[in-house]
């Protein structure tokens, strides 16, 4: 993961622009501590500057950016990874000989062949945000990946300049207007859609492509196809020229990622070093024990990190500065991830695989138990995916990148999403409770669990494969969330809460914990424009108005903890999991020892 930054059509002097570019780019250097690169041009409407802060994952020796074409007329700065770069080179109409081993260099010949078109996003498989400048046309072109896995912001200065940055902190003090760059979109200063956001990512499950209320997916469930598709998504993300590992919470999603990665390493090269896995929590956290069980099963070199509640509380302000949000759930989960990233980087690890996205795709959050029918269930997953870039994608990327560690998220692979979101949603629905016959019971993410339930060659122990969902902020230790609430109670008075709507008319905090975060955020990022980059709405156990109609209690529930959804089993043990599993599964042979 890197940091990209650019200013186009600036009225600054050449010396002034250089100073400004370096000053602003320096604010995101944590994303790319390995090297800094700058490029300057004199355009028709003003001066241009492009900066790149590099985290060297592929080709550390010669892959420095910005990258330039042979005649130096095309310049590109990229944040992210293009996993299918070799296939893209092979598909070029005109053969191209790369000058570096960087996967991102393929964007240069692709632009020469396709221009600033939707193909420049649609053909890529990976996570990416990039800025491209064509000197001969004085054209700049910006593109963000399909789901917003990589963060990106756009802003406009008083002089009419356009600013692009991986993080808001690089441009917020200099722009009169700024916002998150929408995922799956591109932006160009020329052409039919001049200075407009144009969607290039158009799968059937995107709400503004196939409106809510359209036909439901009908693809039948095939566990073998789903398993193979996700295996491909994981192994595709294992390309790296530097040491890497996996985040392992002990939950289903991260455990499957770790299992596939470790199996692939063992079968491809038995002599290859064992996989490193990482978990974090306060002492006694549910995730620590579960992750250790998975690590023991897989044989990873496991690193179990603990932090004290006070260490977490001390980090809150820095977490808000790095993650650039005041959303309660995001901050709760970002803090342990931020602390863990620092320890991972200290070990020399620069890239990790992570399990974000599965709950949005398969309806894994506990409130999905309340979904009344397949349409409601499916449309809620679509809505969750459309918002993911403002929540889990941002939390995962910025928390890890704050210490120069790149997270990769196979559940958000474009090809895997196409398959998983085309499934008939009845296969994803949860069937539980006393009124459900044993033969009809299914727990959350049943179809994903079932796809990896291979008793003759088990991916995971049954107690992990069928473990109930824990939100990350809960799994790192229930005492963590409770301590954050207590800190809010201690810092914020009743009078302050009564006056909260007068202080913040937009997105008024509804709890003292939320008030505390909002006050810190305002101190770091003042102004209404900065506040508006964080999504509005109540912080509740479910994220949308649709889900609030499923259960009347959701509308008045301020706690965003997964425990508040009303279906969490505190005594959810291996036996409970086995009952859910066996009731929905045919008899099978015992796993081989």
Kindly report, residue by residue over 270-327, the tens digit of the pLDDT. 666 789 999 999 998 888 999 999 999 999 999 999 999 999 999 999 999 999 999 9
Percent over 70 (pLDDT), the chain = 90
Q: Are 250 and 287 in contact (CB under 8 A)?
A: yes
- 75 and 67 Cβ atoms separated by less than 8 Å: yes
For residue 245, is pLDDT > 70? Answer: yes
Q: Are 409 and 201 in contact (CB under 8 A)?
A: no
- Mean pLDDT for the stretch of residues 189-216: 88
Which is more confident, 554 or 222?
A: 222
- Tokens in use for 508? 């008024």
In this prediction the pTM is 0.92
User: Rounded mean pLDDT of 59-82?
Assistant: 93
Binning pLDDT at 50, 70 and 90, where does residue 550 land? confident
Q: Active-site residue numbers?
A: 2
pLDDT at 590 over 50: no
pLDDT(50) > 90 = yes
| β pairing state of 47-54 and 67-68 | unpaired
Domain ranges for the chain, please list them: 3-199, 223-354+390-406+448-575
The CATH number of the structural domain formed by 223-354+390-406+448-575 is 3.40.50.620
Tell me what pLDDT residue 438 has: 73
Q: What is the pLDDT of residue 586?
A: 34
230 pLDDT above the threshold of 70? yes
Q: What is the pLDDT of residue 588?
A: 38
Name which of 245, 234, 241, 226 is nearest 302 in CA terms.
245
Q: pLDDT value at position 542?
A: 55
pLDDT at 557: 62
Neighbours of 523 (CB within 10 A): 11
pLDDT given at position 3: 97
Q: Residue 244 pLDDT more than 80?
A: yes
Q: How many residues does the chain have?
A: 593
Q: Are 428 and 362 in contact (CB under 8 A)?
A: yes
Task: Identify the residue with better confidence: 229 or 555.
Answer: 229
Residue 195 burial by Cβ neighbours in a 10 Å radius (0-12, 13-18, 19+): exposed
Mean pLDDT on 498-507? 96
pLDDT surpassing 50 at residue 217: yes
Average pLDDT over residues 407-413: 98
Per-residue pLDDT, 573: 40
Model confidence band, residue 440 (pLDDT cutoffs 50, 70, 90): confident
Instruction: Give pLDDT, residue 589.
Output: 36
Q: Is the model's pLDDT at 232 over the cut of 90?
A: yes
Query: What's the mean per-residue pLDDT of the chain?
Result: 90
For residue 435, the model assigns a pLDDT of 78
pLDDT at 214: 80
| 208-212, 479-483, 493-497, 553-557, range with greatest mean pLDDT | 493-497
Model confidence at 420: pLDDT above 60: yes
Per-residue pLDDT, averaged over 390-412, amounts to 97
With contact defined as beta carbons under 8 Å apart, do 565 and 329 qualify? no
pLDDT value of position 578: 45
CA distance 77 to 170: 16
User: Quick one: pLDDT at residue 414?
Assistant: 97
d(CA 136, CA 119): 21
How would residue 581 be classed by pLDDT, with cut points 50, 70 and 90?
Answer: very low
Per the listing, tokens 């003292």 go with 512
Answer for the pair 326, 383: CB distance below 8 angstroms, yes or no: no
User: What is the C-alpha separation between 368 and 380, in angstroms, rounded?
Assistant: 9
Q: What pLDDT is stored for residue 209 in this prediction?
A: 79
Q: Read off the pLDDT band of 592 (50, 70, 90).
A: very low
pLDDT for 559 equals 59
Over residues 4-21, the mean pLDDT reads 97
Query: For residue 25, which of 39, 10, 46 has the smallest C-alpha distance?
Result: 39
Predicted confidence at residue 59, as pLDDT, reads 82
pLDDT tens sequence across 539-549: 444 556 777 78
| pLDDT tens digits, one per residue of 126-184 | 999 999 999 999 999 999 999 999 999 999 999 999 999 999 999 999 999 999 999 99
Residue 472 is predicted with a pLDDT of: 58
As a CATH number, domain 3-199 is: 3.60.20.10
């Amino acid at each position: 993961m890197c940091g990209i930054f650019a200013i186009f059509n600036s009225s600054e002097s050449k010396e002034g622009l250089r100073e400004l570019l370096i000053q602003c780019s320096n604010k995101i250097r944590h994303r790319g501590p390995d090297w800094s690169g700058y490029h300057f041009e004199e355009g028709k409407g003003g001066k241009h500057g492009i900066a790149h802060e590099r985290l060297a994952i592929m080709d550390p020796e010669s892959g420095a950016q910005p990258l330039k074409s042979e005649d130096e007329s095309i310049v590109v700065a990229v944040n992210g990874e293009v996993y299918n770069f070799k296939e893209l080179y092979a598909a070029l109409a005109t053969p191209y000989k790369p000058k570096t081993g960087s996967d991102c260099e393929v964007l240069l010949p692709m632009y020469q062949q396709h221009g600033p078109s939707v193909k420049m996003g649609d053909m890529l498989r990976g996570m990416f945000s990039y800025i491209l400048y064509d000197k001969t046309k004085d054209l700049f072109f910006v593109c963000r990946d399909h789901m917003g896995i990589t963060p990106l912001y756009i802003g406009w200065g008083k002089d009419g300049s356009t600013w692009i940055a991986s993080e808001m902190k690089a441009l917020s003090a200099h722009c009169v207007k700024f916002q998150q760059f929408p995922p799956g979109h591109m932006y160009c200063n020329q052409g039919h859609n001049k200075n407009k956001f144009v969607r290039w990512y158009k799968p059937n499950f995107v709400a503004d492509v196939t409106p809510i209320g359209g036909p439901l997916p009908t693809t039948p469930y095939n566990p073998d196809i789903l398993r193979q598709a996700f295996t491909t998504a994981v192994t595709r993300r294992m390309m790296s020229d530097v040491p890497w590992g996996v985040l392992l919470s002990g939950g289903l999603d991260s455990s499957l990622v770790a299992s596939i990665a470790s199996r692939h390493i063992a079968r491809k090269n038995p002599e290859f070093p064992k996989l490193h896995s990482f978990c974090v929590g306060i002492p006694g956290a549910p995730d620590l024990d579960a992750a250790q069980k998975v690590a023991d099963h897989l044989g990873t070199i496991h690193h179990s990190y603990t932090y004290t509640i006070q260490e977490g509380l001390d980090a809150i302000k820095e977490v808000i500065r790095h993650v650039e949000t005041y959303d309660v759930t995001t901050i709760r989960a970002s803090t342990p991830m931020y602390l863990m990233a620092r320890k991972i980087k200290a070990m020399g690890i620069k890239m990790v695989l992570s399990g974000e996205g599965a709950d949005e795709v398969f309806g894994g959050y506990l409130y999905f138990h309340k979904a009344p029918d397949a349409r409601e269930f499916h449309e809620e997953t679509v809505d969750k995916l459309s918002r993911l870039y403002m929540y889990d994608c941002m939390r995962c990327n910025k928390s890890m990148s704050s210490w120069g560690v790149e997270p990769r998220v196979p559940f958000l692979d474009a090809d895997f999403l196409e398959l998983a979101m085309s499934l008939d949603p009845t296969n994803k629905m949860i069937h539980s409770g006393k009124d459900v016959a044993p033969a009809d019971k299914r727990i959350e993410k049943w179809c994903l669990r079932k796809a990896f339930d291979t008793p003759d060659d088990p991916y995971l122990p049954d107690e992990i494969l069928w473990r109930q969902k824990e939100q990350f902020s809960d799994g790192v230790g229930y005492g963590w969330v409770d301590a954050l609430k207590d800190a809010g109670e201690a810092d914020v008075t009743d009078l302050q809460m009564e006056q909260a709507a007068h202080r913040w008319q937009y997105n008024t905090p509804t709890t003292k914990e939320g008030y505390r975060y909002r006050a810190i955020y305002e101190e770091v990022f003042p102004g209404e424009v900065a506040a508006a980059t964080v999504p509005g709405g109540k912080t509740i156990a479910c994220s949308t108005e649709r889900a609030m109609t499923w259960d009347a209690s959701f509308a008045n529930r301020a706690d965003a903890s997964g425990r508040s959804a009303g279906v969490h089993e505190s005594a959810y043990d291996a036996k409970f999991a086995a009952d859910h599993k066996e009731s929905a599964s045919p008899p099978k042979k015992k796993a081989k020892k």
